[in-house]
Amino acid sequence: MEAEDLKSHSNSILMEIIVKEREEKGNLQSRVEQLTGALHQAQKEVEELKQKVHLENHAHERELGVVFDESISMRAEMDYQATTMILENKRMKDQLAVYAVVEEQNKVLKEEISKVYDELKSSDLRHKEEMENLKESLVEHKIKLQKEFRQRLQDVTGQLSAENAASDDARKNQNMGSNNIREQEERQQHMSVLIDRFEHLELQHSKVKLEYGLAQQTLEFQTKELLQVKRELLESRERCASLDQNLKDAKSERFLLLRNLH
Say if residues 159 and 177 touch (Cβ distance below 8 Å): yes
CATH code for the domain in which residue 117 is found: 1.10.287
Q: Is the pTM of this model over 0.85?
A: no
Other C-beta atoms closer than 10 Å to the C-beta of 102 total 19
> Mean pLDDT for each consecutive 10-residue tract of the chain (262 residues)?
58 72 76 78 80 78 71 74 75 71 69 68 67 63 61 58 52 53 64 64 66 68 69 69 69 65 54
The set of residues, in sequence order, having a beta carbon less than 8 Å from that of 131 and lying 6+ positions away, is 198, 201
Count of the separate structural domains present in the chain? 1
Q: What is the pLDDT of residue 31?
A: 77
Q: What is the pLDDT of residue 194?
A: 60
Say if residues 190 and 141 touch (Cβ distance below 8 Å): yes
Closest CA to 109 of 230, 217, 232, 231: 217
Q: What is the pLDDT of residue 203?
A: 72
Query: Which residues in 137-147 are b (16+ Cβ under 10 Å) and which e?
Result: eeeeeeeebee
* 162 three-state secondary structure: coil
Q: What is the pLDDT of residue 197?
A: 64
Q: What is the pLDDT of residue 261?
A: 55
Q: What is the pLDDT of residue 233?
A: 66
Q: What is the pLDDT of residue 201?
A: 63
Tell me the C-alpha distance between 57 and 63, whole Å. 10
Q: What is the pLDDT of residue 111?
A: 74
Q: What is the pLDDT of residue 215?
A: 63
- Domain span including residue 69: 2-261
Q: What is the pLDDT of residue 38?
A: 75
Q: What is the pLDDT of residue 11?
A: 66
